[in-house]
């Protein structure tokens, strides 16, 4: 299962952060990436805590023939097309596309770490991921709620959520 995190907290030329997130997924689809499922969107406080606007975050499941490095390059290209600039770490952004997992592969190369090194620490990834896995299960698609675990730690999403402690500052949007 290929998973990406999608987030934004600044408007782009297509609109508010939620519209930008949806448009970024549409752009990936136009580039030949099949979006098989998308989690519900969440509103989340910035991490680390700051005076930035809240984020809209979600997780998408993909199918593609692109290798991990090629997919990452496409994600970065889509970010640039939506006006993403990289200035300082954790800065506000028009769009953020993170390669969270690429099947069960473990990759540590310059510029490419799969699974995402902070996946297990982020409620704004894990809560939408839990919902996404339920969507897959409800549809009878491979990779349902009981089928995915972290490739390194072998922890389930529920186990990782249980380790987070306080998960204030995040709410599911309707």
By annotation, the residues acting in catalysis are 84, 93, 96, 98
Q: Locate tokens 């509103």: which residue?
A: 43
Q: Please return the burial class of 131, using the count of CB atoms within 10 Å of its CB with bins 0-12, 13-18 and 19+.
A: buried
Reading phi first (left if > 0) and then psi (alpha if -120 to 50, else beta), residue 120 is in alpha
Distance of CA 87 to CAs 16, 17, 150, Å? 21, 19, 30
CB 47 within 8 A of CB 122: yes
CB 38 within 8 A of CB 46: no
Measure the CA–CA gap between 7 and 170, rounded to whole angstroms: 13
Distance of CA 110 to CAs 38, 101, 113, Å? 29, 16, 8
Measure the CA–CA gap between 172 and 53, rounded to whole angstroms: 16
């Amino acid at each position: 299962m290929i998973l990406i995190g999608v987030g934004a907290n600044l408007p782009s030329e297509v609109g508010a952060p939620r519209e930008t997130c949806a448009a970024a997924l549409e752009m990936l689809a136009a580039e030949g990436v099949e979006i098989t499922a998308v989690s519900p969107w969440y509103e989340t406080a910035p991490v680390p805590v700051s005076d930035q606007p809240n984020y809209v975050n979600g997780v998408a499941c993909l199918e593609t023939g692109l290798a991990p490095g090629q997919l990452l390059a496409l994600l970065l290209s889509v970010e640039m097309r939506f006006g993403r600039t990289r200035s300082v770490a954790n800065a506000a952004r028009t769009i953020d596309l993170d390669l969270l997992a690429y099947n069960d592969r473990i990759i540590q190369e310059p510029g490419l770490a799969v699974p995402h090194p902070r996946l297990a620490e982020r409620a704004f990834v894990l809560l939408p991921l839990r919902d996404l896995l339920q969507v897959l299960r409800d549809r009878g698609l491979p990779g349902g709620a009981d089928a995915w675990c972290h490739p390194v730690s072998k922890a389930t999403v529920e186990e990782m959520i249980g380790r987070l402690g306080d998960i204030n500052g995040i709410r599911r949007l309707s």
